[in-house]
Amino acid sequence: MDDKHPPAAIEHASILSYITFNWIQPMLLRGRVQFSCRSATPAHPQVPKDLFTKRHCFLTHVQKQTLVADDLQRLSENDKVQRIADLMFHEWTREVETKKQASIERNERMKRPNLFKVLWRCFGLYACVPFVSGLMESVCKISEAVLLG
C-alpha cells in the first residue's frame, strides 16, 4: 500500500518550508480547480481585436481534479502510529514509576500520574512551533495597529 503513495515531503522540508507549510504545496496543487477560457472576439469586424484582453474571456472549461487516497503522501516516520504509541507507553510507565517511587520514599499514598506531563514530554516541541508562530503573528498585528494608529 505504501508503494503507491508518494513519500512524505515533510521529512525533507527545510525549516522555512516547515513553518510556512510549503511542503504540502504539491499535493494541494494537484487537487486545485483549473479554468480554461477563450478570448472574447468582437462581434463587429470594425472593433479592434486588441481591445479585448485577458480579463475579457469566456469560461469554456472547468477541470476539477478530486484528490483520491492514492494522492495522499505516506506518513512520516515521526507520525507512525506504532512509534507514537510506544513513546506514549514508555513515558506513561516512567510517570507511574516516578509517582510510585515518590510515594514509597514519603511513605504516603501514591499520587495520580499526570497525563499533561506525559503529553508534554512526548509532544512539547511540536506544540511550541505553532504557539510561537501564533504569538509572533499576534505581536505583529498588535504592533501594526499601534504604529499605524
DSSP code for 45 = T
User: Which of 71, 101, 127 delimits the end of a domain?
Assistant: 71
In the chain, pLDDT over 90 holds for what percent of residues? 34
User: Which of 48, 71, 94 delimits the end of a domain?
Assistant: 71
Mean pLDDT, rounded, for 121-128: 86
Residue 36 has pLDDT above 80, yes or no: no
Mean pLDDT, rounded, for 93-105: 93
Residue type, 28: L
Q: How many domains does the chain have?
A: 2
90 to each of 8, 78, 86, 95, 98, how far by Cα in Å?
Answer: 26, 16, 6, 9, 12
Residues 91 and 144 reside in one and the same domain: yes
Residue 51 has pLDDT above 50, yes or no: no
Residue 43 has pLDDT above 60, yes or no: no
Domain span at residue 95 reads 80-148
pTM of the model: 0.56
Q: Are 39 and 54 in contact (CB under 8 A)?
A: yes
